[in-house]
A and B are shown apart, each in its own frame.
Chain A
Amino acid sequence: MPGSTNTILEQNPSNDKGSLITILQEVQKEEGYISQEAIVKISRHLRISRSTIYGVATFYSQFRFNPPGRNSIKICLGTACHVQGGDFLLNALQLEIGIKPGETTEDRRFDLGRVACLGCCALAPVMMVNNNIHSRMSVIKLREVLSKYE
Chain B
Amino acid sequence: MNDFNKTLKSRYKHIKQEAIEQWEALQSNPDPVIYLGMGSCGIASGAGEVWNAVEKNISGLKQKIHLLKVGCIGPCYLEPFLDIKLPGKPRLCFNNVDANRAEKIINEYIIKSEAKLKPLGHLGEQVEEFDGIKSFWSIPMLKNQKRIVLRNCGIVDPENIKHYIARDGFQGLINAFNKGPEGVIEEVKIAGLRGRGGAGFPTFKKWQFCREAKGSPKYLICNADEGDPGAFMNRSLIEGDPFALLEGMLIAAYAIGSNYGYIYIRAEYPLAIHRLKIAINQMQKTGLLGKNILDSGFDFEVKLKEGAGAFVCGEETALIASIEGERGMPRNRPPFPAVSGLNGKPTNINNVETLGTVPNILRKGGKWYSGFGTEKSKGTKTFALVGKVRRTGLIEVPLGTTLREIIFDIGGGTLKPFKAVQTGGPSGGCLSKEFLDLPIDYESLTEAGSIMGSGGLIVMDEHSCMVDIAKYFLRFTSQESCGKCTPCRIGTRKMVEILERITEGKGNMEDISILESLADTVKKGSLCGLGQTAPNPVLTTLKYFKDEYEAHIDKKRCPAAVCRDLVVYRVIKEKCTGCQRCVEVCPAQAISGPRSEPHNLDPEKCIKCRACYEICRFDAIAGDAIIIE
Chain A residue with minimal CB distance to B236?
Answer: A119
Which residue in B425, B460, B607 is a CB contact (below 8 Å) of A83?
Answer: B460
Is B309's beta carbon under 8 Å from chain A?
Answer: yes
Q: Mark B229-273, 1 if CB is under 8 A from A, else 0.
A: 111100110000000000000000000000000000001111000
Q: Are B44 and A79 closer than 8 Å at their CB atoms? A: no
Q: Are B587 and A95 closer than 8 Å at their CB atoms? A: yes
Nearest-neighbour CB distance to chain B for A56, whole angstroms, equals 5
In residues 423-475 of chain B, which contact A (Cβ within 8 Å)?
425, 456, 458, 460, 464, 469, 472-473
Is A82's beta carbon under 8 Å from chain B?
Answer: yes
Q: Are A83 and B610 closer than 8 Å at their CB atoms? A: no
Residues of chain A within 8 A (CB-CB) of B385 are 122
Q: Are A84 and B585 closer than 8 Å at their CB atoms? A: no
Which of B230, B267, B384 has the most chain A CB atoms inside 10 A of its CB? B230
Interface residues of A toward B: which range? 35 or more
Which residue in B323, B326, B472, B610 is a CB contact (below 8 Å) of A79?
Answer: B472
Which residue in A22, A79, A96, A139 is a CB contact (below 8 Å) of B230?
Answer: A79
Residues of chain B within 8 A (CB-CB) of A25 are 267, 306, 308
Nearest-neighbour CB distance to chain B for A144, whole angstroms, equals 12
Is A75's beta carbon under 8 Å from chain B?
Answer: no
Nearest-neighbour CB distance to chain B for A74, whole angstroms, equals 9
| Chain B binder among A2-10, A60-68, A103-111 | A60-68
Is B393's beta carbon under 8 Å from chain A?
Answer: yes
Knowing A95-B587, A124-B386, the reply to whether A139 touches B610 (Cβ < 8 A) is yes
Is B388's beta carbon under 8 Å from chain A?
Answer: yes
Is B76's beta carbon under 8 Å from chain A?
Answer: yes
Q: Are A79 and B425 closer than 8 Å at their CB atoms? A: yes
Nearest-neighbour CB distance to chain B for A87, whole angstroms, equals 9
In residues 368-386 of chain B, which contact A (Cβ within 8 Å)?
384-386
Residues of chain B within 8 A (CB-CB) of A121 are 230-232, 384, 386, 392, 456
Q: Are A116 and B229 closer than 8 Å at their CB atoms? A: yes
Residues of chain B within 8 A (CB-CB) of A145 are none
Is B310's beta carbon under 8 Å from chain A?
Answer: yes
Knowing A92-B611, A140-B618, the reply to whether A122 touches B76 (Cβ < 8 A) is yes
Is B226's beta carbon under 8 Å from chain A?
Answer: yes
Which of A21, A60, A80, A95 has the most chain B CB atoms inside 10 A of its CB? A80
Q: Mark B322-333, 1 if CB is under 8 A from A, else 0.
A: 111111100000
Nearest-neighbour CB distance to chain A for B603, whole angstroms, equals 17
Which of B41, B45, B322 has the most chain A CB atoms inside 10 A of its CB? B41
Q: Are A138 and B325 closer than 8 Å at their CB atoms? A: no
Q: Are B227 and A116 closer than 8 Å at their CB atoms? A: yes
Measured in the bound complex, the distance between the Cα atoms of B388 and A124 in whole Å is: 10
Knowing A79-B456, A83-B464, A121-B230, the reply to whether A133 touches B325 (Cβ < 8 A) is no
Is B200's beta carbon under 8 Å from chain A?
Answer: no
Is B614's beta carbon under 8 Å from chain A?
Answer: yes
Is A85's beta carbon under 8 Å from chain B?
Answer: yes
Nearest-neighbour CB distance to chain B for A26, whole angstroms, equals 10
Residues of chain A within 8 A (CB-CB) of B306 are 22, 25
Measured in the bound complex, the distance between the Cα atoms of B619 and A92 in whole Å is: 19
Residues of chain B within 8 A (CB-CB) of A77 are 229
Q: Are A21 and B614 closer than 8 Å at their CB atoms? A: no
Knowing A61-B310, A83-B464, A135-B45, the reply to whether A119 touches B305 (Cβ < 8 A) is no
Which residue in B226, B310, B323, B387 is a CB contact (below 8 Å) of A84?
Answer: B387
Knowing A25-B308, A82-B472, A83-B460, the reply to whether A140 touches B615 (Cβ < 8 A) is yes
Q: Are B458 and A80 closer than 8 Å at their CB atoms? A: yes
Is A149's beta carbon under 8 Å from chain B?
Answer: no
Q: Are B269 and A119 closer than 8 Å at their CB atoms? A: yes
Measured in the bound complex, the distance between the Cα atoms of B230 and A120 in whole Å is: 8
Which residue in B268, B310, B322 is a CB contact (below 8 Å) of A117?
Answer: B268
Is A38's beta carbon under 8 Å from chain B?
Answer: no
Residues of chain B within 8 A (CB-CB) of A117 are 227-232, 268
Q: Mark A51-79, 1 if CB is under 8 A from B, else 0.
A: 00001100111110000000000000111
Is B476's beta carbon under 8 Å from chain A?
Answer: yes
Nearest-neighbour CB distance to chain A for B5, whole angstroms, equals 39
Residues of chain A within 8 A (CB-CB) of B476 are 116
Is A91's beta carbon under 8 Å from chain B?
Answer: yes
Nearest-neighbour CB distance to chain A for B209, whole angstroms, equals 24
Q: Mark A16-46, 1 if CB is under 8 A from B, else 0.
A: 0111111011000000000000000000000
Nearest-neighbour CB distance to chain B for A63, whole angstroms, equals 7
Q: Mark A119-130, 1 if CB is under 8 A from B, else 0.
A: 111111010000
Is B606's beta carbon under 8 Å from chain A?
Answer: no
Nearest-neighbour CB distance to chain A for B421, whole angstroms, equals 11
Chain A residue with minimal CB distance to B310?
Answer: A60
Measured in the bound complex, the distance between the Cα atoms of B79 and A122 in whole Å is: 10
Q: Are B325 and A115 closer than 8 Å at their CB atoms? A: no
Q: Mark B312-340, 1 if CB is under 8 A from A, else 0.
A: 00000000001111111000000000000
Measured in the bound complex, the distance between the Cα atoms of B245 and A30 in whole Å is: 30
Is A134's beta carbon under 8 Å from chain B?
Answer: yes
Q: What are 28 A-B pairs with beta-carbon distances under 8 A?
A: A17-B324, A21-B325, A22-B306, A60-B307, A79-B458, A79-B473, A80-B229, A80-B458, A91-B609, A116-B227, A116-B229, A116-B311, A117-B227, A117-B229, A117-B231, A119-B232, A119-B235, A120-B41, A121-B384, A122-B386, A122-B392, A131-B270, A133-B43, A133-B44, A134-B44, A135-B44, A138-B618, A140-B614
Which 3 residue pairs across A and B have the least CB separation, nearest first? Answer: A79-B230, A122-B76, A78-B229
Add 6 more A-B contacts to A22-B305, A121-B232 (CB < 8 A): A83-B388, A84-B388, A116-B311, A116-B476, A119-B40, A122-B232
